[in-house]
Amino acid sequence: MKKIDYIVYFDETLYLGISKKIKQTALALQESNFNASVKLIKPNGMKGVCSFIWKIVRSDADIIIVRSFPYLMSILAPALLAKRVQGKKIVIDIPTPNTTILNEIKTRTDIGFTQTILRQAIVLLSFPWALLPANRIIQYAPESKYFTFGVKNKTLLSANGIHVASVPISMLRPSWPADEFVFIGVASLADWHGFDRIIRGVADHLKKTNQKARFIIVGDGDARNQLALLAKDLNITDLIEFKGFLSGAALDAEFERAHVAVASLGLYRKGLEAASDLKSREYTARGMPFVTAGYDLDFDPKPDFVFEVKNNNETAEISEIIDWYAKLQSKQCRPSKIREYAEKHLDFSNKIKCFLVD
């Protein structure tokens, strides 16, 4: 049985969705008869960095998957090269293009000018040469020519997956037409999720039509206060519900209140035209139609249950979304049909091939 180590430098308590994705990848590999395990190292200064390197050095796996951490890849490169010389297969999983990382550093307000320059310099000087030890590089969105120079032939553009069986299907839906149309968005709230576009849309829709739309926001994060202030400024706090982190039956109950889910609507804020977000996949596995922005490899051509808004700062037109939903209902697009799409196109059983290197 081939052994696979997925080595990750990551604080799982801060990003539960990503943590779930990593563990589900290992679970899918196990279900396909590989001896796969996750080696998770929590960031802890130099102690954490040394542990990261040591996990790679000590690994006896046939395939070593390393989730890229941009500020450390130049330090890890010698250890990865040593494992490659030993005959091990090296896969580097890059969750966010380095071009986007540079944009994120530039727009951060919590670090000063010196830190901004230093972090950008580390990324620019570390890549692409730090990727040379890899047999395969996995990207989830297109990368610039600079960061793919010399490694393009070993780079595979893939898409995120989900363990569909572990996600409960949401069979119950509120009726429509009804007194109000209900959205739900689940995320570790950040500016690039673009939930403000729906909040502004709810306010505009109320002014134009006197018809209520409601937005249930599940999760916490840096953008929560900003979103709450926006709802207050627009005088619609009664229509925007902040639920905090929910899981299990409590989360299921909120999904059953909603007509449509909201995926990431602010990719442009990260300089992205395409992405492979986890929310879209969970919504599909739940059988939920959803609103999104930007290109996604797994939803091409666009299925009926996906409504795409422009990938810019425009306010979401709620009336257009409601009209689309009404047409979707007339087509009898049941939750089970949407779930079938997830099983066929999004399940990890169909995704793990990209991690397998001969």
Domain boundaries, the chain: 3-157, 165-345
| Confidence (pLDDT) at 358 | 78
| Confidence (pLDDT) at 302 | 94
| Confidence (pLDDT) at 314 | 96
Edge-to-edge strand list for the sheet holding 155-157: 35-41, 3-9, 63-67, 89-94, 136-139, 155-157
| Confidence (pLDDT) at 274 | 85
Per-residue model confidence as pLDDT tens digits over 310-350: 999 999 999 999 999 999 988 878 999 999 999 999 998 88
| Confidence (pLDDT) at 91 | 96
| Confidence (pLDDT) at 27 | 86
| Confidence (pLDDT) at 313 | 95
| Confidence (pLDDT) at 243 | 97
- Contacts of 27-30 with C-beta under 8 Å, sequence gap 24+, read 27/163, 27/348, 28/161, 28/163, 28/347, 28/348, 28/349, 28/351, 28/352, 29/4, 29/352, 29/355
CA–CA dist 80, 90 (Å, integer): 7
Residue ranges, the chain, pLDDT below 70:
none
- Answer for the pair 257, 175: CB distance below 8 angstroms, yes or no: no
Can you tell me whether residue 16 is helix, strand or coil? Answer: helix
| Confidence (pLDDT) at 332 | 79
Domain 3-157 annotated CATH 3.20.20.70: no
Per-residue model confidence as pLDDT tens digits over 247-286: 999 999 999 999 999 999 999 988 888 888 889 999 999 9
CA–CA dist 338, 297 (Å, integer): 17
CA–CA dist 99, 87 (Å, integer): 31
- Superfamily of domain 165-345, CATH level 4: Glycogen Phosphorylase B; (3.40.50.2000)
| Confidence (pLDDT) at 141 | 85
pTM, 2 dp: 0.84
| Confidence (pLDDT) at 322 | 97
**Same fold yes or no, 3-157 and 165-345:** yes
| Confidence (pLDDT) at 221 | 87
| Confidence (pLDDT) at 270 | 85
| Confidence (pLDDT) at 203 | 97
